[in-house]
Amino acid sequence: MSSKLMIGWSSRDVTPDKPVNLCGQFHLRITSTVMDPVTVTALAVSSGKDEENSFIWVSCDSALIPDNVLEISRRKLRNLVSDFPVRNLVLNATHTHTAPDLMGLGVWYPPVPEGVMRPEEYIEFFTDRVAEAAAESWKKRKHGFIAWGIGYAWGVKKKPLF
């Protein structure tokens, strides 16, 4: 590979197909409908000449990312790509209080009722999708660049400060 910056993107829907407990409160909140999907979006960046300094950053619609979820995701990613240093996989949470519970340790919540996806089941589903998105973003890297700009959002009028 050349020394040019390589960038790749990928995304996955991580909306469960059955009811779950939503994280972000200190009581059970079992879903009955889905208004908007929850997703993960992966950004892979490498210089092309130094894979050790590359990274994959995955933004996750979740209240938080427990350490075990990161480690499971890294393990699954290792099985999908061989040329990426999985310790450079970073997960961040958008900190939504309307995403499934990833704690899975009974820290805040009692066991979920029958017919509701257990946190451990969701963690398995979620980490599969994180690893898939990360691997795809890595494999889809193309020459790219980073730039900066300044301006106003379309339709926004400049207002006086005082």
Residue 21 lies in a domain: yes
Evaluate whether residue 1 is within a structural domain. Answer: no
Place of tokens 């409908």: 33
Quote the pLDDT of residue 106.
60
**Where would I find the beta strands (DSSP E) of 17-157?**
22-23, 39-46, 55-60, 89-93, 99-100, 142-143
Within-domain flag for 119: yes
At 60, the pLDDT band (50, 70, 90 cuts) reads very high
* Confidence label for 156 from pLDDT (cuts 50, 70 and 90): low
pLDDT tier for residue 1 given thresholds of 50, 70 and 90: very low
Nearest to 66 by CA among 27, 44, 93: 93
Q: Does position 6 have pLDDT exceeding 70, yes or no?
A: yes
pLDDT of residue 118: 93
* pLDDT digit string, tens, across residues 93-129: 999 999 999 986 666 778 889 999 999 999 999 999 9
| β-bridge pairing 55-60 and 39-46 | antiparallel
Number of folded domains that form the chain: 1
**152 in any annotated domain:** no
Q: Does residue 162 fall inside a structural domain?
A: no
User: Which domain does 94 fall in, by range?
Assistant: 6-143
The answer to whether residue 82 is domain-embedded is yes
Structure tokens belonging to residue 53: 């300094």
Return the DSSP state at 107. S
**107 in a structural domain:** yes
- pTM of the full predicted structure? 0.87
Is residue 154's pLDDT more than 70? no
Mean predicted confidence (pLDDT) in 38-58: 90
Q: Cα 149–134–139 angle (5° rounding)? A: 85
- Give the residue from 108, 127, 98, 110 showing the smallest Cα distance to 33: 98
